[in-house]
Structure 1
Amino acid sequence: MDVALVTVGDELLSGDTANTNATWLARQLSDAGATVTRVLTVPDEEAVIADAVARYHDAFDAVVVTGGIGGTPDDVTKAAVARAFDREVVVPEDVRAHLEAKAERFADENPEMVDRYDMDLDLDAWASVPDGAEPLLTDESFAAGCVLDGVYVMPGIPEELKAMFATVAEEFGGDRTTETLHTPAPEGAVVGVVTEARERFGVAVGSYPRNDDTPGRVKVTGDDPESVERAAAWLYERIETVD
């Protein structure tokens, strides 16, 4: 399963916010056996998001889009996804009712905050999804996410993203397996055996340098678990490793 990630937000491009969502999603998907082959960060611009989603939808098995799904003026992701599919944005009655009840509970539980601030929520914006999409709702997120023909639209707030991804995690998978060796050796010392392991076993082998806190890594990846296991065993005999 080939997956592309699209993270949305001006704050990511300016460096104001670290893009932890891309790293977390890539790890979750890789652990599930899927292959992440694209990670793209785009600004809060509807046309740019729509173009990326349309291209990636045609090229990959699934696309995960995070960020920009709330009810503020710069939250244009759901409109952009609708545009990518040439569809309208709609407000499902059941989703709006769900969010209205949630807003009422919040007001009841936080009267001082409601009195202090002007909580003018555009429930239609929060509840909106592209026409034909399956809404995704969680307790952690106020905004509705959605799924439309393999495009998964989720929040940018990390805890909200994690909760929403959990509702669809079983839909991602594949035959990709990995095994990682940890080594104190410098990267230049393993070039030869890494190259030979690739050629000998038909697997991908990546080497990643050590730093002050962690040893280096040699990561074996492939679609055939036996080939990955044989390659890793072969490398263990030729590379100094640490636990």
Structure 2
Amino acid sequence: MDVALVCVGDELLAGDTVNTNAAWLGERLAERGVNVERVTVVPDRVADIARTVNEYRAAYDAVVTTGGLGPTHDDLTMEGVAAAVGRTLEPSEAVLERLASEGGYAREDLAAGTADIPAGARPLHNVEGVAPGCVVENVYVLPGVPAEMKAMFEAVAGEFEGEERHVDFLVVDEPESALVDRFAELQERFDVIVGSYPGDDVRVKLQATDETELEAATEWLRANVEVA
């Protein structure tokens, strides 16, 4: 399963807010064997949101958006997603009923647009806040507030499934450039994916669908490098 993440918000582009949502979602999806193929940050503009979501929903199995939900002037994600899938926005009766029954919100007290989602979309209830998310076609629309986003994702996590992977890490006390030939030999000998991340040391990530293959690859690498 191949997925694209679209994170919405001027504050992300300006550096006012660190995009922890993308990192958390990437980790959770990878744990489920899902390939995250794109992480894109777009401004609070309907045209940018619509164009990006429309492109990615055609290219990938699913698109997950975060941010830009609510009734304020810069909460434009629902409008952008609706434009991407060619639907209008309309109040969700299911959302309004839940906000009334579980949140104690009278309809007349809610700001205009609070319960609006694309026509025919499946609402996702916000157990940590007010603004709903939704699923429309293969697009999952989640809030930007991390606690709200995480809770809402967990409600649909079972809809994201890929091939089981096994992962191991080694920290190597050698320059990355000195490891090139051994990485090449490692991948020739074993059916593994190798990631190399330099810093004070080199952090090597090994991935495989077969646990025995991963164990053998890790042991070979351990025997052929200077482990920190």
How far apart in 1 are the matches of 2:105 and 2:74?
Answer: 26
Structure 1 counterpart of 2:114, from 126, 130, 133: 126
Name the structure 1 match of 2:34: 34
Q: How many residues align?
A: 226
Q: Which amino acid aligns with 2:136?
A: L
How far apart in 1 are the matches of 2:42 and 2:122?
Answer: 24
Instruction: State the shift of 1:37 in Å.
Output: 1.1
- Say which is worse superposed, 185-194 or 75-84, in terms of deviation: 185-194
Name the structure 2 match of 1:4: 4
Q: Does 1:46 align with 2:46?
A: yes
CA-to-aligned-CA distance 1:210-232 (integer Å, 9 cap, x gap): 33xxx531112344555444333
Instruction: State the shift of 1:124 in Å.
Output: 4.4
Q: Does 1:241 align with 2:197?
A: no
- Structure 2 residue runs without a partner (length 5+): none
**2:127–2:152 Cα contact (<8 Å) kept:** no
Instruction: State the shift of 1:97 in Å.
Output: 2.5
How far apart in 2 are the matches of 1:72 and 1:122?
Answer: 12
SS in 2 for 1:5: strand
Q: Which amino acid aligns with 1:160?
A: E
How far apart in 1 are the matches of 2:28 and 2:224?
Answer: 30
Name the structure 2 match of 1:188: 177
**1:68–1:155 Cα contact (<8 Å) kept:** yes
Q: Percent identity?
A: 46
- Structure 1 residue runs without a partner (length 5+): 107-119
Q: RMSD value over aligned CA atoms?
A: 2.2
Change (3 A) 1:73 1:20: same
Structure 2 counterpart of 1:220, from 206, 219, 224: 206
How far apart in 1 are the matches of 2:11 and 2:164?
Answer: 33
Change (3 A) 1:192 1:45: same
SS in 2 for 1:168: helix
**TM-score, length basis structure 1:** 0.84
